Amino acid sequence: MIAFPVPATTTSRFAVAAERIPHDLPGLLRGAGGPYAAHIAGRLGSPHLEVVREDGARLRWDPARILAPRPEDRRRERAFRDAPEFAVVTACAPITDQPRAVQVARAAALHLAAATGGVPADLVTGHILTPPAEERTRFVLADQWLGDELPPFRANGRCTAPDPDRDPEGVNGCSCVRLRTRGLRRFGLPELQIGDVACPHDLAALNVLRTAARRLLTDHWSWLSTGPADRTREVDAALSLAESDFSDFWGTARRVHLVPPNPFQIRLALLTPRLLAVAPPDDITGTVNDWLCGDTLPLGMYDVLHSPADPPHSQAA
C-alpha cells in the first residue's frame, strides 16, 4: 500500500486573454446562458467562483508559459501571450465539490472568452483551451483536464538513437521520454509520471497514464463519497486497469476496444506526496520499454491518440 495526503480544498484558475476586458465581469457572467448559468450565478462572488480583471503589465503569473498543445492552435497561443488584458477565474472549493466546481469555473471562463473574443487557458495545465466553446454537461477527463500531450518525437532531433524504422528491434534504443500529468491535483490526487521511455513507445506510455488517471479518479470519488474522516488515503500499489477505464477516460459508452481486452497491471510508487510513478508490475522483467512493447499491454494502447466522446446531454448532472 502507498499513502498520500488528500487536501480539504483545491484551487483551479482559468484565464481569458483579450484586447479589451470589461470592468464589470460579474455583470457579464450573470448574463451567461447554458446549463451552467444557475451554478455560475449562485457561486459568483464566493471563493467557489471569483473573477478579476488583470492588466498584462502587472500580472503575477507569466503568459509566456501558457502553451498550445496542438500545432493548429499556435496562433491562439501567440494571441494569448501578446494580449494586453486578462480575466482570471478562480475556484477554491472543497474536494467533495469536484468536479462540479472546476466545471463551473471553466464554463465561466469559456463564456467570458466568447463574450470578449478572447482566448481561454487553463492555468493549472498551462494549456490554451481549444473548442468546443461550451463546457460539457458531464465530466470527461479527456476534455483537456489532464494536460496530457506527447513531447516532440525524437526529442526534436536531439535523440541520437537509431531511427526506429531502421532499427525495429531497438526496443531500448533511447530513454528520451518522460510524461507527467498536470491537473489531477485539483481533484485531490497526486500527479502521475512515467519515465525512461523510448521515443517509439511514447503513445503507449501516454495511454497507460491516461487509463491509470481515470481509474484512480473513479476510485477517489468513490472513496470521498463515504465521507472519510482521515485526510490520508491509502491505495494498493498494484493497480489493475481494464478496457472500461480506457473508455471512461474518453467519455464513451462505446468501448474503445483493446486487444486483448483483459485487464493489465501497473505498479504505483510514491515519489513525493504529490507525485506517483507508474511502472511495470513486479512480475515483469526488463525495462519499461520491454513492458510497453511486450504482450502484456493491450494493442489499442499503441494507436489511440484521440477518440470522440458521446454526444453531450442537455442538462448538467
Q: What is the pLDDT of residues 40-96, one digit of tens each?
A: 999 999 999 999 999 888 888 999 999 998 888 899 999 999 999 999 999 999 999
Q: Is the pLDDT of residue 160 over 90?
A: no
Q: What is the pLDDT of residues 209-248, one digit of tens each?
A: 999 999 999 999 999 999 888 889 999 999 999 888 998 9
CA atoms within 13 A on the CB side of 256: 25
Q: Where does 117-160 have alpha helices with state H?
A: none
With 0-12 / 13-18 / 19 or more C-beta atoms within 10 angstroms meaning exposed / middle / buried, residue 242 is middle
Q: Is the pLDDT of residue 131 over 80?
A: no
Predicted pLDDT at 317? 34
Strand intervals (E) in 123-263 = 127-128, 177-180, 191-197, 232-235, 238-241
Contact 158, 137 (CB under 8 A): no
